[in-house]
Amino acid sequence: MDANYGTLDSEAGLNNLEFTILVGLGSFMAGFLGALTGLGGGVVLVPLLALVFQVDIRYAVGASLVSVIATSSGAAVAYLKDGFSNIRIGMFLEVATTLGALFGAFLAARVSTAAIGAVFGLVLLYSGYTASRTQVEVPTSEPPDPLATRLGMNGVYPSLTGPKAYYVHRVPAGFGLMFGAGALSGLLGIGSGAVKVLAMDRVMGIPFKVSTTTSNFMIGVTAAASAGVYLSRGYIDPGLTMPVVLGVLAGSLAGARMLARTKTQQLRWVFAAVIVALGGEMLYGAFAGKI
């Protein structure tokens, strides 16, 4: 026990039941905070499993990917009924994210676990950075992309002053960035919602609320594309995935329910700080040969 101070792994003598309970509780917290802060729980799951529970990063990534499908599909229900998400933008960009996800999943088998850990650390640092930044709507004066018009992507979303029209810009650049988001998702087992929102909100000029809801909608399909590859490689372990997926799902449902009556700005800061700390830890672990 002394030799494993700070870690909870098999050498600390955990049996399946204890492991299930502890991982389930950790996953519940990740899902809960992820939903409450809008930052998603997937990004902290892999570091939690790899650093605290000493799980091999390939098993951790497989379990995280499955839980991402569950939360994305669960949360999409609420968003779809609000009328913010745009199924045409989502479907078109899913061509890019699923191809990227396949690429990422293939890459995952060819690079070292330390390299995966290092990329993960950088993504965590970036997510923490975007989370701490306040969101501003940037009105674009550019003309709409003719391609977006031809693809029927321009839409209308509900606002306080009634339905508001929006145009979609720079489709090819957004499509390219979406391929990258898919590749990260397939490589790291995360939803990569931060990169998806970056592509839609910043590059394509889509209103923030439409971007976030459509992004969430796309995450499940993207993750399913790499989950098939992960399954056939034997990265998805049922004994580990069970507490992770059930914990995250229950946590995110509880978080979404509490969202309406909580002030989340401070919590968002705290969670962003946790993400940055985990990012540093992952980078350190990767370079010190611990991952």
Q: Is 252 in the site for other proteins (CB under 8 A)?
A: no
Q: Which of 138, 159, 239, 262 binds other proteins (CB under 8 A)?
A: 239
Q: Which of residues 87-106 bind other proteins (CB under 8 A)?
A: 87-88, 91-92, 94-95, 98-99, 101-102, 105
Q: Which of 1, 2, 3, 81 binds other proteins (CB under 8 A)?
A: 81
Of 37 and 72, the one with the shorter C-beta distance to other proteins is 72
Site string for other proteins, 12-51 (x = CB under 8 A): -xxxxxxxx-------------------------------
Rounded Cα distance between 116 and 188, Å, is: 7
In order, the DSSP letters of 187-229 are HHSS--HHHHHIIIIIIS---HHHHHHHHHHHHHHHHHHHHHH
Of 131 and 256, the one with the shorter C-beta distance to other proteins is 256
Q: Which of residues 256-285 bind other proteins (CB under 8 A)?
A: none
Stretch that binds other proteins, among 38-46, 203-211, 231-239, 258-266 (CB under 8 A): 231-239
Q: Which of residues 50-79 bind other proteins (CB under 8 A)?
A: 53-56, 58-59, 66, 69-70, 72-74, 76-77
Rounded Cα distance between 145 and 166, Å, is: 12
Rounded Cα distance between 107 and 175, Å, is: 20
Of 163 and 270, the one with the shorter C-beta distance to other proteins is 163
Q: Which of 27, 64, 85, 214 binds other proteins (CB under 8 A)?
A: 85
Burial class (CB in 10 A: 0-12, 13-18, 19+), 254: middle
Q: Which of 138, 163, 258, 262 binds other proteins (CB under 8 A)?
A: 163
Q: What is the dihedral of CA 212, 216, 217, 220, to 10 degrees?
A: 160
Rounded Cα distance between 98 and 115, Å, is: 22
Instruction: Give Cα 235 to chain centroid, integer Å.
Output: 18
Q: Is 225 in the site for other proteins (CB under 8 A)?
A: yes
SS3 23: helix
